[in-house]
Chains A and B, each alone.
Chain A
């Protein structure tokens, strides 16, 4: 069986902050349509890794190819790459001076130069998909955290992205709002989007992930399919971590 084309190829990647090595010798391949969930203790480099995938951080050595585009500091096509790769942040980072609809339209209109009417049509269709069409004319501050995060997901999707990165998308949410965001992410997964998700929501991971990645101290400790990952992880450290977060 031939696998789909690789969308993200990471080999031998290192990242330093001064003398501190945040990422050590990372190797990872994500294929088209694959859902990868990355977990690990805080400070293990999960966020740093996915922030490298759209050039919010730059790696210091190794190779990183996303959708055929080689990523490195100073790459000329980095802005084209960012249009292909959507990012959802822990703190939502919506634009507070723009309405929900304007938040969704500003990227397509200013970056992709799509006419306003068409951008609005796309924006409304994605607002439907994240189940908040009625909030189009409100400002982000008038929405709940869960609604804001769904708007943030829709904002990325409006750029017609081919890969979606999620950096702890539910960590800043009140517990009763986590599910509405996860539901949207599950629906998105069902459309065949390539997704890399940093999260501790193991229920979501079991449901959606094709591949589980466990990181610690800047290294990938374990890569395995979820059935193996949750039942018998090969590393002791990963087993301990899972015991802790699944204890309740």
Chain B
């Protein structure tokens, strides 16, 4: 190498990065700073609650998770509410995906009327607040078409999230090169067969990350249906508080439950993504 005149003697030191960067970049310092910030927030919350004379009663919380009574073990309100939330979210998500796929295909159909309908739908839904949409479905469309609050809340969530889901699906479908369409056409496949066997299976890996985000978003926004008293996690939390007045403990617990569920979901899907990435 040296005869090329570009060699540098082995082990020659590069100038060190500035002290500031080395200090704040080191792991022990980062962890300490992080712990101090979290500690300050927790301490602030605690003393604030003390200051208003709040009476912490964490020992009363577990009974809302599970109970051991004379008849045996039974689940408390919070897990029951969680199951209801998951049911509601899954149903709404499936419906949202169906509507979203329909809207995406309309938009991709190449028909002027199809894409006009799709764009109109998207703009309408995206520009109405979720809460107002819920009121519309429950107080206006519900009585007109005769559906109950549970159905109204599923419809609201499905319609609201179908808008973003249709955009995710459309982007995923568009990410597949035109050559795939041509190859499928040239062996005589119909558009339906092409979508089913060629396009959608390849789109999945483009859609998976944003779809996970959308499911997480949906689970979180499902809490809003508590305003029309549909039985789910947040509603149960409100009920417990109105019985026990333990608003701090219960809201912290409910928030933690949502956090755990959505974190599990995100981690699970990121594993799935890695698997898909290997398969390709």
Contact = CB atoms under 8 A, between A and B. Distances in A.
A48 to B, nearest CB: 13
Contacts of A89: 179, 182-183
A93 B189 CA distance: 15
Main secondary structure of the interface of B (DSSP, over half): helix
A76 to B, nearest CB: 12
A219 to B, nearest CB: 25
B190 A106 contact: no
A82 B183 contact: no
Contact of A156 (B180, B187, B197, B279): B187
Interface centre among B180, B187, B189, B279 (most CB of A within 10 A): B187
B193 A82 contact: no
Contacts of B197: 106, 110
A83 B280 contact: no
A107 interface: yes
Contacts of B190: 79
A245 interface: no
B201 interface: yes
Contact of B187 (A55, A82, A141): A82
A110 to B, nearest CB: 6
A82 B186 contact: yes
Contacts of B179: 89, 91, 93
B189 A110 contact: yes
- Taking residues whose C-beta sits less than 8 angstroms from the other chain, chain B's interface range is 10 to 19
Nearest to B179: A93
Interface in A113-171: 139, 141, 152, 155-156, 159
A111 B280 contact: no
B262 interface: no
Nearest to A139: B280
Contacts, number: 65
Contacts of B193: 110-111
Interface in A80-105: 80, 82-83, 85-87, 89, 91, 93-97
Contact of B180 (A95, A107, A111): A95
A159 B185 CA distance: 12
B188 interface: yes
B188 A111 contact: yes
B269 to A, nearest CB: 19
A207 B187 CA distance: 28
B187 A155 contact: yes
A155 B183 CA distance: 10
A231 B176 CA distance: 45
A54 interface: yes
A96 B202 contact: yes
Contacts of B186: 54, 56, 82, 85-87, 156
B198 interface: yes
Contacts of A112: 188
Interface in B203-240: none
Nearest to B204: A97
Interface string B163-192: 000000000000001011011111111100
A141 B187 CA distance: 21
A94 B187 contact: no
Closest 7 CB pairs of A and B: A107-B187, A93-B183, A83-B188, A93-B179, A87-B186, A82-B188, A111-B188
15 contacts: A56-B182, A79-B188, A79-B190, A82-B188, A83-B187, A93-B179, A93-B183, A94-B183, A95-B198, A97-B201, A97-B279, A106-B197, A152-B183, A155-B187, A156-B187
Given A94-B183, A159-B188, 20 more contacts: A54-B185, A79-B188, A82-B186, A86-B187, A87-B183, A91-B179, A93-B177, A93-B179, A93-B182, A95-B198, A96-B202, A97-B202, A106-B197, A107-B187, A110-B197, A112-B188, A139-B280, A155-B183, A156-B186, A159-B187
